[in-house]
């Protein structure tokens, strides 16, 4: 299985949120791809949750440590100029900038060898992925 995992799905697993058991099961043993943005977005989200008081310091540290270990489980592609230039955009939905970067990165991986699934918990992102021909 070749899966592109976006930040929403990864954070669900990292934080043990509802649906995380299913996602963990689905991604276990699979080739997991993502953008290096996943690391930036996940790290920032952990700090935001800590500052908002929705995550305590111990749990934040534990999640940050897991993030560092989990990086090894992913084949990550850096955000490069070729992914940023005007290009492929869904015809109907207009993703936010970082979401578009994930979509274009997934399309790049899909062009190398077909992905089995674009894994996201963001409904708008899923619609955009479907529009672009990514399996969801």
Looking up residue 125, the CATH number of its domain turns out to be: 3.40.50.1010
> Which has the closest alpha carbon to 55: 14, 20, 22?
14
Tell me the per-residue pLDDT of 55-72, one tens digit each, with 9 for 90 and over. Answer: 999 999 999 999 999 999
Domains in the chain, number: 1
Read off the pTM.
Answer: 0.94
Spatial distance between the Cα atoms of 129 and 30, rounded to a whole number of angstroms? 20
Question: Is 116 inside any structural domain?
Answer: yes
Structural domain that includes position 37: 2-131
Kindly state whether residue 111 falls inside one of the protein's structural domains: yes
Which residue has 């669900």 as its token pair?
12
Biggest alpha carbon distance in the chain?
44
pLDDT at 84: 86
136 lies in a domain? no
């Amino acid at each position: 299985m070749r899966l592109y995992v976006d930040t929403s799905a990864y954070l669900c697993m990292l934080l043990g949120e509802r649906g995380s058991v299913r996602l963990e099961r689905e991604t276990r043993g699979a080739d997991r791809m993502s953008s290096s943005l996943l690391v930036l977005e996940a790290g920032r989200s952990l700090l935001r949750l800590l500052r908002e008081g929705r995550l305590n310091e111990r749990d934040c540290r534990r999640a940050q440590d897991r993030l560092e270990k989990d990086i090894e489980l992913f084949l990550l592609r850096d955000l490069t100029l070729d992914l940023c230039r005007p290009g492929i955009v869904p015809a109907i939905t207009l993703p936010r900038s970082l979401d578009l970067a994930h979509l274009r990165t997934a399309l790049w991986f899909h062009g190398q060898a077909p992905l089995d699934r674009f894994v996201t918990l963001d409904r708008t992102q899923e619609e955009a992925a479907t529009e672009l021909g990514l399996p969801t």
